Amino acid sequence: MTIQKKLLVLVDGSERSIQTVNYVKDFMPVDENTHIVLFHVFNGMPEEYPALTENPNCHSEVRLLRERQAEQQRATREYLERAKNILISGGFSERLIEIKFHSLKQGVARDIIKEAKKGYSAVVLRRRGMGALESIILGSVAVKLLQSLSFIPIIIVGQTPSVKKLLFAVDTSPASMKAVECTASLLGGNGYEACIFHTILSVETIDFQLFGKNDLEMSNHCIEALKSKAALTFKAVKDMLTVSGFESEKISEKIITGVSSRSGAIVEEAEGGGYGTIVVGRRGLSKVEAFFMGRVGHKVVYKGKKFTVWVI
């Protein structure tokens, strides 16, 4: 039995969102089991509008606002049709592309979260405003979604070209296996290249994080033991990928030891290896690492801002 894939693609009327649509067109598999929903939250009126309608001296202002809202609605619907045509040009079936023009109810993020609970396989969104610290403080829509959409994979689209090369940043946690399983179910059997990538921190880094010191050294026996444990994970990951349709010869493996930053090493590998997409688990080995997702995954999202990052 073939499982239908259903993608919630968030578009806000900007050219940046068109980049998101292009990523779906260029990267996601084209088949008869992929249902795409282009979702736009529309709010054409300012907060002061209800007060204006109740004031008898503001009839002309209300009329102008309504006319402007109607113009904006027309422009937005044309934009959504443009986005739909981009997907059709990429081979997606018109009957499987749905436009949802959603009038704002509870708030942009809340309305998206409510929609995401309706049986979607993943949410696809753009990265706007996620590269600067002030975005975290102010709470952009993207950050709110990362905090709240813990029940569904999130695909954060970057600016890197949509090459079909994936970097699976894995550790030995169940979250990593879940990330691989989900990605494999969405992409398997369509000719993607994949690298299974694992990092081992230097003991100096671990010592410094725990005790504020960095005068220890990791023995070769310890390194080899950690590599052996990672190798078991690699085998399980590779088996999962090949079963889903990834070609064995297009799957590579890499372990880097003695790194001072897991997230930094992951982003550097993506840059050096020409990868366009990084896959990370939402939570790392320890629950302490869960700062709305695994600490490493969190840092990859922010450090690798030019890449597309799948957070699962």
Place of tokens 């081979």: 91
| Closest C-alpha to 115, from 103, 127, 133 | 103
Range of weakest confidence among 104-118, 123-137, 215-229 = 123-137
Q: Once rounded to an integer, what is the mean pLDDT over residues 107-126? A: 93
Q: For residues 126 and 213, which has the higher predicted lDDT (pLDDT)? A: 126
Q: For residues 123 and 207, which has the higher predicted lDDT (pLDDT)? A: 123
SS3 content of the chain, % helix, strand, coil (to 5): 50, 20, 30
- Which residues does residue 278 pair with via DSSP β-bridges, in sequence order? 167, 309
**Residue percentage of the chain with pLDDT more than 70:** 78
Q: Once rounded to an integer, what is the mean pLDDT over residues 139-154? A: 81
Domain ranges of the chain: 1-157, 159-312
Q: For residues 148 and 90, which has the higher predicted lDDT (pLDDT)? A: 90
- State the chain's mean pLDDT as an integer: 82
> pLDDT by residue (tens digit) across 236-279?
999 999 999 999 999 999 999 888 888 999 999 999 999 999 99
Between the two ends of the chain, the Cα-to-Cα distance in Å is 24
What's the rounded Cα separation, in Å, for the pair 278 and 156? Answer: 10
Residue 286, pLDDT above cutoff 60: no
What's the rounded Cα separation, in Å, for the pair 25 and 112? Answer: 22
Q: Does the pTM of the predicted model rise above 0.85?
A: no
Going by pLDDT thresholds of 50, 70 and 90, the confidence category of residue 33 is confident
**Residue percentage of the chain with pLDDT more than 90:** 47
Count the alpha carbons within 13 Å of 166 in the hemisphere toward its beta carbon.
Answer: 28
> pLDDT by residue (tens digit) across 124-142?
998 764 343 333 333 477 7
Q: Residue type at 218?
A: M
Q: Once rounded to an integer, what is the mean pLDDT over residues 61-83? A: 82
Angle in degrees, 0-180, between the axes of helices 174-187 and 220-244, rounded to the nearest 10: 30
271 contacts: CB under 8 Å, gap ≥ 6: none
CATH superfamily entry for domain 159-312:
HUPs (3.40.50.620)
Same fold, 1-157 and 159-312: yes
CATH superfamily entry for domain 1-157:
HUPs (3.40.50.620)
Going by pLDDT thresholds of 50, 70 and 90, the confidence category of residue 290 is very low
Q: Once rounded to an integer, what is the mean pLDDT over residues 288-310? A: 71
